[in-house]
């Protein structure tokens, strides 16, 4: 038997099968998150020499603001485990940040710091026994987290004609089906994947319905600072007693890889915060110490960070509008983005022409875009849409944000970046969108 040259391979295959069988049933068959997977696939293709436009992962192209990087340098030596709920000064800075930016009166005690808001969302679902209500299209990981934990998911399919926004009637209709059932309703705006947002009146109307049905609202406001006009309004100011605000450094501070998220709870939900902290203490113990110290500077803000945000918003607004305009000009219906760095183009007006080319779903559409022109986008199905809806998510982030920030500084404080600015500072995004437009026109 030892002479069998295939012996080791056999053993390996058997071992792998055994492990598969022993996987938790809820996890068996599950692949990595599609945002993470598309990024790794792009890197592989690039390493093999293929030209790839990275419009898949929603990662900020901008550098972390210098004062925050400097604070991290200064605190590189911080090595102690910190309190499980987070560093006191950081929780205070987050509470002041909410008061300053959103006019919400929050105590530092209400804030929970975690290693990314994604992890905090998972902990919330783990400790809170309730259904997860997800208006679609929605970020890729809410539902898989519920599946892993075994929570029931209720989907609410929003209407593209209403810019994919959840309406109070839809929310009320679902809640009336089984009144009193515990539910967490996710609201995410500015939206990943549509780039849309809600007006204060719309938020107020949703808040009244949420209040009537006593739902826990998980308001994912991670893109709040990236409202293109700097006019984000938190629904927590309309429904303070039932809203958990989810935020963090990943998007507005260009620090996705730093993994720092925040949850801010209503005063009456301290029991939920404490239950999450108990689980956190048994799993990750505490969030990285140097990162927490640096995050104090980020949340305290200041002139330099304000200027950074103004410049980031100007670039994203100009680039998002340019991309949407180009796509609309060739018949791909694309909503004007109001925040974040995503577009959710709908190719269904071109369904007949696409079908003649063998494309009848958003998965075949995104596969073709990657294969034929190197544009990596994610299919609408990853965001809860039906395969035949022919939507994709395009993250317009494949550019050097540091260069773009330098260029906009040279442009002066008021001017909006024009076509020439975008071509020289965001060339990959511009080229990718032009290639998509040519591809569509050639169908």
**Least distance between ligand GLU and beta carbon 116 (Å):** 8
Phi, psi torsion values for 134, nearest 5 degrees: -125, 115
Q: What is the three-state SS of 213-225?
A: CCCEEEEECCCHH
Q: Is 425 in the site for ligand GLU (CB under 6 A)?
A: no
Among 52, 54, 55, 58, binds ligand GLU (CB under 6 A): 58
Q: Is 319 in the site for ligand GLU (CB under 6 A)?
A: no
Q: Is 212 in the site for ligand GLU (CB under 6 A)?
A: no
* Structural tokens at position 273: 């915060």
CA–CA gap between residue 225 and residue 247 (Å, rounded): 10
Is the CB of residue 432 less than 8 Å from the CB of residue 55?
yes
Binding to ligand GLU in span 83-102, by CB under 6 A: none
User: How many chain residues touch ligand GLU (CB under 6 A)?
Assistant: 8
**Least distance between ligand GLU and beta carbon 366 (Å):** 14
Residue number, 144 or 160, with CB nearest to ligand GLU: 144
Site string for ligand GLU, 388-417 (x = CB under 6 A): ------------------------------
**Least distance between ligand GLU and beta carbon 443 (Å):** 28
CA–CA gap between residue 240 and residue 95 (Å, rounded): 14
* Structural tokens at position 195: 């780039």
Residue least distant from ligand GLU (Cβ): 58
Residue number, 318 or 377, with CB nearest to ligand GLU: 377
**Least distance between ligand GLU and beta carbon 42 (Å):** 12
**Least distance between ligand GLU and beta carbon 321 (Å):** 21
Among 54, 85, 91, 118, binds ligand GLU (CB under 6 A): 118
* Structural tokens at position 232: 């984000």
Among 35, 125, 188, 234, binds ligand GLU (CB under 6 A): 35
Q: Is 141 in the site for ligand GLU (CB under 6 A)?
A: yes
Among 53, 128, 139, 341, binds ligand GLU (CB under 6 A): 139
**Least distance between ligand GLU and beta carbon 8 (Å):** 36
Is the CB of residue 61 less than 8 Å from the CB of residue 401?
yes
Is the CB of residue 289 less than 8 Å from the CB of residue 82?
yes
Q: Is 316 in the site for ligand GLU (CB under 6 A)?
A: no
C-alpha distances in Å from residue 105, one per residue of 111, 120, 300, 381: 12, 22, 16, 39
Q: Is 246 in the site for ligand GLU (CB under 6 A)?
A: no
Find all residues with CB under 8 Å of 372, minimum gap 6, and list them.
439
Q: Is 194 in the site for ligand GLU (CB under 6 A)?
A: no
How are strands ordered across the β-sheet holding 342-343? 342-343, 392-395, 378-379
Packing angle, helices 88-102 and 289-300, rounded to 10? 30
* Structural tokens at position 403: 């260069």
Among 42, 55, 57, 216, binds ligand GLU (CB under 6 A): 57
Find all residues with CB under 8 Å of 312, minimum gap 6, and list them.
62, 226, 252, 401, 405
Q: Is 192 in the site for ligand GLU (CB under 6 A)?
A: yes
Q: Is 234 in the site for ligand GLU (CB under 6 A)?
A: no
* Structural tokens at position 320: 């998002």
**Least distance between ligand GLU and beta carbon 138 (Å):** 10
Say whether 108 sits in a helix, a strand or coil. helix
* Structural tokens at position 135: 């208006």
In the complex, the residues that contact ligand GLU under the rule CB under 6 A are 33, 35, 57-58, 118, 139, 141, 192
């Amino acid at each position: 038997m030892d002479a069998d040259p295939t012996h080791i391979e056999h053993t390996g295959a058997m071992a792998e099968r055994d492990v598969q069988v022993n996987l938790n049933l809820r996890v068996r068959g599950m692949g990595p998150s599609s945002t993470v997977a598309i990024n790794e696939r792009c890197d592989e293709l690039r390493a093999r020499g293929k030209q790839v436009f990275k419009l898949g992962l929603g990662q900020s192209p901008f550098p972390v603001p210098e004062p925050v990087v400097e604070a991290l340098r200064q605190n590189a030596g911080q090595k102690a485990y910190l309190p499980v709920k987070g560093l006191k000064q950081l929780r205070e800075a987050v509470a002041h940040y909410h008061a300053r930016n959103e006019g919400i009166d929050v105590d530092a005690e209400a804030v929970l710091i975690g290693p990314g808001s994604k992890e905090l969302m998972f902990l919330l679902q783990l400790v809170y026994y309730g259904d997860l209500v997800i208006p679609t299209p929605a970020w890729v990981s809410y539902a898989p987290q519920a599946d892993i934990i075994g929570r029931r998911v209720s989907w609410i399919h929003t209407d593209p004609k209403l810019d994919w926004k959840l309406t109070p009637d839809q929310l009320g209709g679902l809640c009336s089906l089984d009144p009193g059932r515990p539910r967490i309703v996710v609201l995410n705006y500015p939206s990943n994947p549509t780039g849309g947002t809600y007006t204060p009146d719309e938020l107020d109307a949703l808040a009244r319905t949420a209040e009537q049905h006593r739902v826990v609202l998980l308001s994912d406001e991670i893109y709040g600072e990236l409202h293109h006009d700097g006019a984000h309004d938190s629904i927590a100011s309309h429904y303070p007693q039932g809203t958990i605000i989810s935020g963090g450094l990943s998007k507005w501070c260009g620090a996705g890889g730093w993994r720092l998220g925040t949850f801010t709870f209503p005063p009456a939900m301290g029991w939920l915060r404490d239950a999450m902290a108990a689980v956190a203490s048994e799993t990750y113990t505490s969030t990285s110490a140097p990162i927490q110290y640096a995050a104090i500077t980020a949340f305290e803000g200041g002139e330099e960070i304000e200027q950074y945000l103004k410049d980031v918003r100007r670039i994203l607004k100009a680039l998002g509008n340019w991309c949407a305009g180009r796509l609309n000009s060739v018949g791909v219906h694309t909503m004007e983005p109001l925040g974040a760095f995503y577009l959710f183009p709908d190719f269904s007006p071109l369904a007949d022409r696409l079908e003649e080319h063998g494309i009848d779903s958003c998965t075949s559409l995104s596969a073709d875009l990657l294969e034929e022109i190197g544009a990596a986008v994610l299919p609408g199905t990853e965001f809860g849409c039906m395969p035949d809806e022919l939507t994709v998510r395009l993250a317009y982030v494949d550019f050097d944000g540091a260069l773009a920030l330098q260029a906009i500084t040279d442009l002066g404080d008021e001017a909006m970046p024009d076509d020439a600015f975008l071509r020289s500072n965001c060339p990959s995004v511009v080229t990718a969108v032009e290639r998509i437009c040519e591809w569509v026109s050639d169908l």
